A and B are shown apart, each in its own frame.
Chain A
């Protein structure tokens, strides 16, 4: 760590240290952008910094400048960092009340369409995709739905596509599923194999997994629903605004936008383009 252990440092000594750290981070992000074309310069700084330091320590390095050196000369380290930056720690049916609201307030709307396209943006390892697929299946919508599941990182998409999750999480997921209004037997959706739960291939029949970078890539279709939960909390306000622009542009009129429990559309330029379907669950509908 670049942090001196002295507890007696005067403010005049420590300000340059923080400045130095900021400089190192800025240079590192610039280096990644120019070397790999991946832009993390508008990610929310506090969490980004923690993730960079975690990678630095995992590599056994002392400073972010050393990490920069390794990232530039050793692409596998960049792959690792990309995993660090794109893994979104989540669970199947995380926030069960969200799924209850989708069943009660969104499903009836989707039933009015002959065909529904849903974008699961920033799907990470796929927990949310499988949760949605199960819900749509139980609500009789799956056969006329296509889910587009995208993430910045090809490796986590591969993992999502495989649909293999640790068996020891199934107890929690089952509880979530029941609270989320599940209508069947959760264990019917997977097969236990050693320490893993392998989810049914039928759940991904109508899912298209694809690499997409929210910070840099454009819209690729028109959707009836976009689900993007706890992904934009890692972006700064400028990038959040831009991604909200991308979503707004990608939604059909009356399309649904679902955000995380603690993500408010009110802090964006698009607040007045949506009406609330469920304020507490942060489910909105595009009206303009």
Chain B
């Protein structure tokens, strides 16, 4: 039913994504694609190693055209936009969107287009409004929109913007998102 989970976050995102993966049941097999704002300077593969400690899933900075596989987590590489097409990753070096590359909106809009009602989008903590427009697009094309409860987010700007932009299916504290995903995806 649901075929892909896309996560967008910025400020506080490493901790939030770590905790989400920590709590996620292993029966949730869908590939997960994460766009987290990070510095151009950040070491390639560094974030992947940090997150790998929190999950049995395979965590990678994917190459262009990498196939999306079950039980894998794909991180947008620094200084690239990550998009998805039917079954694989597509990268771009187009100009930053809302000052961000990777841009969450760019990822989410491609997820909506490629996966339609089989897509799940999640906006977590963050300090700007990136992701709001993309989450609305996922929702408009029949997918599921999940937003971290702003009150429990390290930075609430991003969740607030997402909630304002679309009718989210669920607004949840971080620790409840894994269970919601389990109900949806397992």
Contacts and interface: CB of A to CB of B under 8 A. Distances in A.
Given A10-B142, A11-B117, A262-B77, A46 B93 contact: no
Classify chain A's interface size: 35 or more
Interface stretch (B7-15, B16-24, B51-59, B79-87): B79-87
Given A11-B116, A18-B141, A262-B62, A50 B106 contact: yes
Given A7-B139, A261-B44, A46 B84 contact: yes
Interface in A35-94: 44-47, 49-51, 88-90
Contacts of B61: 262
B42 interface: no
A90 B106 contact: no
Contact of B110 (A14, A46, A90, A262): A46
Interface size range on B against A? 20 to 34
Interface stretch (A108-116, A139-147, A229-237, A247-255): A229-237
Given A7-B136, A9-B142, A263-B63, A14 B84 contact: no
A47 B142 contact: no
Given A7-B136, A44-B85, A234 B65 contact: no
A281 to B, nearest CB: 11
B140 A233 contact: no
Interface in B78-126: 80-81, 83-85, 90-95, 106, 109-110, 113-114, 116-117
A46 B65 contact: no
Contact of B63 (A45, A90, A267): A267
A268 B83 CA distance: 20
A3 interface: yes
Interface of B: 44, 61-66, 77, 80-81, 83-85, 90-95, 106, 109-110, 113-114, 116-117, 136-137, 139-142, 166-167
Given A11-B142, A261-B77, A262-B62, 8 more contacts: A3-B137, A18-B113, A45-B85, A51-B94, A89-B93, A230-B93, A263-B64, A264-B66
8 contacts: A7-B167, A8-B167, A14-B117, A44-B90, A233-B64, A233-B93, A264-B64, A267-B63
